[in-house]
Amino acid sequence: MTYTPPPQQRIVLTGLGLTAPNGNAPNEFRAALLDGRSGVQHYSIRYFGETVAGICHFDELRYQKRKEVRRGTRAGSIGIYCAHEAILSAGLSWEDIDKSRIGVYVGITEHGNVETENEIYQIKQFDYDTSVWTHHHNPRTVANNPAGEITLNLGITGPHYTIGAACAAGNAGMIQGAQMLQLGECDIALAGGVSESIHTFGIFAGFASQGALASHPDPTKASRPFDQDRNGIVVAEGGCLYVLERLPDAQKRGATILGELAGWAINSDASDFVLPNAQRQVACMQLALQRAGLEPSEIDLVSTHATATVSGDIQECLALRTVFDNCPNTLINNTKSFIGHAMGAAGALELAGNLPAFQDGVCHATINVDTLDPLCDLPGLILNESREKKSVRTILNNSFGMLGINSVLIVKHV
């Protein structure tokens, strides 16, 4: 099956900026993934106490003044850092670009919890006197904050907003950017996802109450999708934004094309607040494949969503077994095993770790699998050591989230 959309409808990735717990640039991140280096650390947060988390160590002051950092949010800083790095890597002639034709589409799992918790903690010191509640609260907590801070910092006057899509948000941000380019709403899209979630105690406490928070004496071993002894999610912060363009625009300026967004799909389970639904994941993957004009056997690499919850990993494996039955050449990996679950950034970040495989054919593994859960024993699963393939030309990127949201993005080598 071959299908090639009209050139103006073909959307390509031409730039990439990221911060992950194990790297603040695409090459650092990739090197860590190939070396099997985790970015998960010991972490402590008020009220909740000791836990583990994926913590980013990028330089906030590289692209922001101290006053901007103070006024804004961590999600905003992550977004600003990633946006600058993406623009630089795309080789865009920034001064010559019409800033009103740039759109900013940032996926988020949640926003505002960190800032609200901080303020409640502050007013607690004043016996809950709301007159000391900061006037910065509303601009920090409006849902468009992380995208809006990027436009303020970079002088972008085109559309901006966030896409709230739970843990499917990284893919959803990219899909939104691609669709806006197809609609002609912008000529350049900055799209992907960010997460500041490690700064809210609520997310740790919530997962703990749900029995879904990872723990391990060695933080680097805590995130272990597909392992028999997995015990939950490692929460991480991070960000990853891409420069998206229409193919002819990218070709016209001689841009380096990192990949083409060949097909995508978002659907809903309509079955449970938190439990995944393998049948709907199958439907989502099949729809994305159909739109990309690809057969499952034509997918070289699947980047799994698996977060290391007991049921989530099994459900995704069930779905993958259905879709990729009789696909012996399709490899499967997982990036959360290195960095934890970067929430709104996860889909975009995990794709970024895999894109270099288009150049060198090397696929990173899923680490920390000491005893493979038999229910997760997929034929193509790359366990613990990177694997080289003759060539990688297609990647299928899964990202699923609470309330039953599934997103699948297929990227093709151009």
Beta carbon nearer to another protein, 137 or 321: 137
Q: How many CB atoms lie within 10 A of CB 373?
A: 18
| Residue 70 neighbours by CB under 8 Å, 6+ apart | none
Question: If binding means CB under 8 A, how many residues of this protein chain bind another protein?
Answer: 11
321 binds another protein (CB under 8 A): no
R_g (Cα) of the chain, nearest Å: 20
Nearer to another protein, 119 or 237 (CB): 119
70 binds another protein (CB under 8 A): yes
> Could you say whether residue 71 binds another protein (CB under 8 A)?
yes
Which of 111, 305, 364, 413 is flagged as catalytic? 305
In the complex, the smallest distance separating the C-beta of residue 71 from another protein, rounded to whole angstroms, is 7
Q: Supply the DSSP string of 284-331, one letter for each residue.
A: HHHHHHHHHT--GGG--EEE----S-HHHHHHHHHHHHHHTTT-TT-E
Is position 135 an interface residue for another protein (rule: CB under 8 A)?
yes
The span from the first CA to the last CA of the chain, in angstroms, equals 17
Query: What is the DSSP secondary structure assignment for residue 109, as one 8-state letter?
Result: S
Binding positions for another protein, 172-231, rule CB under 8 A: none
Q: At what angle do helices 74-90 and 145-154 cross, to 10 degrees?
A: 50
The catalytically annotated residue of 56, 82, 167, 363 is 167
- Torsion angle of the four alpha carbons 298, 301, 306, 312, in this order, in degrees rounded to the nearest 10: 20
Cβ(410)–Cβ(395) under 8 Å? yes
CB of 135 to another protein, least distance (A): 5
Q: Which is nearer to another protein, 139 or 239 (CB)?
A: 139
How far is it, in rounded angstroms, from Cα 283 to Cα 294? Answer: 15
Comparison of 137 and 389: residue with beta carbon closer to another protein: 137
Identify which of residues 151 and 337 has a Cβ nearer to another protein in the complex: 151
- What is the separation of C-alpha 102 from the centre of its chain, rounded to a whole number of angstroms? 21
371 is a contact residue toward another protein (CB under 8 A): no
Binding of residue 155 to another protein (CB under 8 A) = no
CA 262/CA 93 separation, integer angstroms: 26
Distances (CA, A) of 219 to 24, 90, 222, 280: 20, 35, 5, 33
Burial of 257 (0-12, 13-18, 19+ CB in 10 A): middle
Span near another protein by CB under 8 A; candidates 33-41, 59-67, 177-185, 386-394: 59-67
The answer to whether 137 contacts another protein (rule: CB under 8 A) is no
Q: Are 10 and 260 in contact (CB under 8 A)?
A: yes
Tell me whether residue 135 or residue 390 sits nearer to another protein (CB atom).
Answer: 135
Judged by CB under 8 A, which of 8, 9, 100, 134 binds another protein? 134
- What is the Cα–Cα distance from 153 to 155, expressed in whole angstroms? 6
Q: Is 136 in the site for another protein (CB under 8 A)?
A: yes
| Shortest distance, position 138 Cβ to another protein, whole Å | 11
Residue 65 makes contact with another protein by CB under 8 A? yes
Interface pick for another protein out of 4, 27, 131, 209 (rule CB under 8 A): 131
Name the minimum Å distance from CB 347 to another protein: 34
341 is catalytic: yes
* Residue among 1, 46, 66, 270 that touches another protein (CB under 8 A): 66
DSSP alpha helices (H): ranges in 210-309?
Answer: 247-252, 278-292
The answer to whether 130 contacts another protein (rule: CB under 8 A) is: no
If one asks whether residue 142 binds another protein (CB under 8 A), the answer comes out as no
Least distance from another protein to the Cβ atom of residue 256, Å: 35
The active-site residue out of 111, 160, 199, 341 is 341
DSSP state of 62: G
132 binds another protein (CB under 8 A): yes
Q: What is the rounded CA–CA span in Å between residue 265 and residue 262?
A: 11
Q: How far is the CB of 218 from another protein (least distance, A)?
A: 38
Q: Does 256 bind another protein (CB under 8 A)?
A: no
Closest approach, Cβ 43 to another protein, in A, equals 26
Catalytic residues: 167, 305, 341
Interacting residues toward another protein by CB under 8 A: 65-67, 70-71, 126, 131-132, 134-136
